[in-house]
Amino acid sequence: MKMRKRLSLGVALLGIVLLGACSVGDALGPGQDTVSGTYELVTVNGRRLPAVLYQEPGYRLEVLNANFTFSRNGTFSEAGIIREIVNGSANTSSSSTNGYYEYRNGEVTFQDNTGRTYYGSVDRNTLRVVDDGVTLIYERY
């Protein structure tokens, strides 16, 4: 049986040990805490939702929707709905993760609750996360 990949929904669906001893307020600096808020997933690898996260013969993992929330205290949460299709049989479920983030000069470092580290960037109201070769674009609402 082939191993099935699990990706963050940024989630993909994707808890962290905060890197360094500074608080997120120290890391952000004056006026840079505008990263906080909720972002909605709009594209995966340039394709609108629903979108395929991973596929192999007899198996497909799709994301139907997802949201990424940054809190001012340096924590994040991500939640979404995924669909797994195994040999034509579909199962829809929710997925979530949380952890800590560090934001500096537009770059974001995430460490989720499993200890996994991944990266992203924020430009105005757009969050871009690249994880395991998958590019996830979120828009703040």
CATH number for the region 24-135 comes to: 2.40.128.300
Alpha helices (H) along the chain: 24-28
Query: How far apart, in whole angstroms, are the C-alpha atoms of residue 101 and residue 20?
Result: 11
Q: How do residues 83-126 score in pLDDT, each as one tens digit? A: 999 999 999 999 999 999 999 999 999 999 999 999 999 998 99
d(CA 55, CA 66): 19
pTM of the model: 0.75
pLDDT, one tens digit per residue, over 48-79 is 999 999 999 999 999 999 999 999 999 999 99
Residue 44 banded pLDDT, cuts 50, 70, 90: very high
* In the chain, where the domains are located: 24-135
139 vs 128: CA distance, rounded Å: 9
Residue 73: which residues within 8 A CB-CB, separation 6 or more?
23, 24
Bridge partner residues of 122 (DSSP): 127
The CA-atom distances, in angstroms, between 52 and each of 9, 26, 69, 117, 136 are 11, 38, 22, 22, 11
Q: What is the largest CA-CA distance in the chain?
A: 53
